[in-house]
Amino acid sequence: MFGFGKKGNSGRNYNENSNIPEKIVIFLTAIVLMAVVVLCILRFVFKEEAPEKITPDDYTEFSHESDFNKNVYGEVQTPNMENTPSDPDGPTPISCWGDSYTIASDYTSPSYVAYLSKNAVRLCYNLGIGEGSLEDIAARQGGLPLYVAPMDIPAKMAYREIAISNAYGNIPDIDFDKNAGFNPCKIDGIEGIISNFYGTYKFTRSSSGFEQIVLEPTPVVTKAMELRTNDITVFFIGNEKNLADSAKTVEIYKKMADFLDTDKYLIVGPITGNVEKIKNINEALAAAFGNKFLNLYSYLYNDAQKEYQVSINEEDKPLIAAGNIPANFINNRGFSKQGAEIVGKKISDTLAALNYYE
C-alpha cells in the first residue's frame, strides 16, 4: 500500500521535501522586498536636486527663441512671431486666441488663421495652445492675469520657485509647447521667463541686476499683454470642454475684451462637445456680445453644408441628427483642410461686416 508519510533514504518526510521550493520562493521574495526598500531609502537620501540655475539652452527652450526660424504646419508665420511689435505703417494685424481649433491639425493642413490671413490680406498671429482652457488663455492674453505670491527675485539669473494663481484662486496648467505670447514675461518690472522645471513653476530673470523684493501678489505681465492689445482680436475656444459654464464663460470673455485697447474684437462660440452645453453657451454669448459674436456652430451645422454643397456619408447622418457638425469640417485634432478654409473665410467676412478693416 502507498504510504504518504513514508520516509526515504534521507530520513526526511516527503511533505517536507515538497515545501522546499515554496520556502525558496518566500526567501527570494523577502530579499527582493528588502532590496526595494533599501533603494527607496537611498533614492530619498541621495535624490537628485534641481540645479541652482537653468542653462542657456533651457532658457531658450522656454522662451521659444529657437523656434523663430521654424514654420508652424502649413503657415507662413513662425511660432514666436506673436512676440514681434506690429508694423505701424501696415494694416492692423489680427490676433487669434484659442485652443486646438486655432492651431493647425497637422503638417499638411493650414489652420483657419492662415486662411483668415489670406482673406483679410494682413498678418494674423496664431495664439492657439492645444487644449488650453479659457482661464489659461485669458492669463496669456491679460483679461485674467496670473498673480505671483510675495517673493524675492535674485540679483543673478538663478531661478526662483514661484507660487502663481489667478483671481479665482486657480493654479494654472501652463502648456509651454507653444509660447502663445507668454514668455518673456515680467514680474514687478523684471523681465524673464516662467518655466515648469523639475516639477514646479519657476521664474528666471533675463539678465543679472539688483535683487528685488515682491511684497504683495503681483500680476505676471506676458509678452502678449504688452504687444497684442491693439490688434483686431478673435477669441475662439472650439471645444466646450475648455470653457466654463455659460455665466463664467461670458464673464471671462468680457474681461478679455475689456483688457484690449480697441473695441475691434470677435467672440466665436464653441462647435464641438456636449451639444446642449454648446447651444447654452452660444445663446449666452449672443445675448452678451451682440454682433461681436459669431455662432460658428450654427453656421457649420446649417448654412455651410448648403453653401459648399457638402455631401454627407450615410454613417455620419445619425451624428448630425444628434446635433454634431459634419465630420467633413473637423477631425480628431481640429479642422480639416476644407473646414479651416471655410472658417477662415467666414470669420474674415464677419470682421469685414463689422468694418474692422481699414
Highest mean pLDDT among 31-40, 168-177, 251-260: 251-260
Residues 42 and 66 reside in one and the same domain? no
Q: Tell me, yes or no, whether 358 lies in a domain.
A: no
Residue 37's pLDDT band, with cuts at 50, 70 and 90, is low
Q: 207 and 84, same structural domain? A: yes
168 shares its domain with 211: yes
Is 0.85 topped by the overall pTM? no
> How many residues in the chain?
358
Identify whether residues 75 and 21 lie together within a single domain. no
Taking the CB of residue 288, how many other CB atoms lie within 10 A of it? Answer: 18
Torsion angles phi and psi, residue 192, rounded to 5: -175, -160
Strand partners, 201: 196
**pLDDT for the residue numbered 62:** 74
CB-based contact 334:108 (threshold 8 Å): no
> Average pLDDT of the chain?
85
**pLDDT over 90, % of the chain:** 58
Q: Place 196 in a pLDDT band, splitting at 50, 70 and 90.
A: confident
Q: Are 319 and 308 in contact (CB under 8 A)?
A: no
CA nearest to 95, candidates 236, 190, 296 = 236
Please report whether residue 227 resides in a domain.
Answer: yes
- The answer to whether residue 115 is domain-embedded is yes
* Position 247 pLDDT exceeds 60: yes
Q: Is residue 86 part of a domain?
A: yes
Considering only residues 219 and 331, tell me which one the structure prediction assigns the higher pLDDT: 219
User: Does residue 218 fall inside a structural domain?
Assistant: yes
Q: Are 30 and 87 found together in one domain?
A: no
- In the predicted model, is pLDDT for residue 339 greater than 90? yes
Strand order in the sheet with 160-161: 160-161, 200-205, 190-197, 185-187, 218-221, 147-148, 164-165
Give the C-alpha separation, 105 to 269, whole Å. Answer: 19
CATH number at residue 65: 3.40.50.1110
Q: Domain limits at 11?
A: 1-47
Specify the pLDDT at position 256: 98
Residues 181 and 162 in one domain: yes
Q: Which three cell numbers stand for residue 357?
A: 478693416
CA distance 201 to 174: 9
> What is the distance of C-alpha 93 from the center of its chain?
23
Q: Give the mean model confidence (pLDDT) for residues 202-215.
A: 93
State CA 87 to chain mean position distance.
28
Please report, rounded to a whole number, the percentage of residues in the chain having pLDDT higher than 70: 80
Residues 64 and 96 in one domain: yes
Q: Is pLDDT at 76 greater than 50 in this prediction?
A: no
CA–CA separation, 256 and 211 (whole Å): 33
Whether residue 294 lies inside any domain: the answer is yes
pLDDT (tens digit per residue) in 253-303: 999 999 999 999 999 999 999 999 999 999 999 999 999 999 999 999 999
C-alpha cell at 348: 474674415
Residues 268, 154 share a domain: yes
Q: Say yes or no to pLDDT of 13 above 50.
A: no
Report d(CA 245, CA 260) in Å as an integer.
23
The answer on pLDDT for 44 being more than 80 is no
Same domain, 25 and 121: no
pLDDT at res. 310:
82
Q: Is 236 helix (H, G, I), strand (E, B) or coil?
A: strand
d(CA 107, CA 128): 15
What pLDDT score does 4 carry?
A: 33
Q: Is residue 175 part of a domain?
A: yes
> Is residue 161 one of the residues assigned to a domain?
yes
Do 27 and 106 have their domain in common? no
**Is 1 found in the same domain as 145?**
no
Q: Are 167 and 23 in the same domain?
A: no
Residue 244 pLDDT: 95
pLDDT at residue 223 greater than cutoff 50: yes
Q: Please tell me the total count of domains within the chain.
A: 2
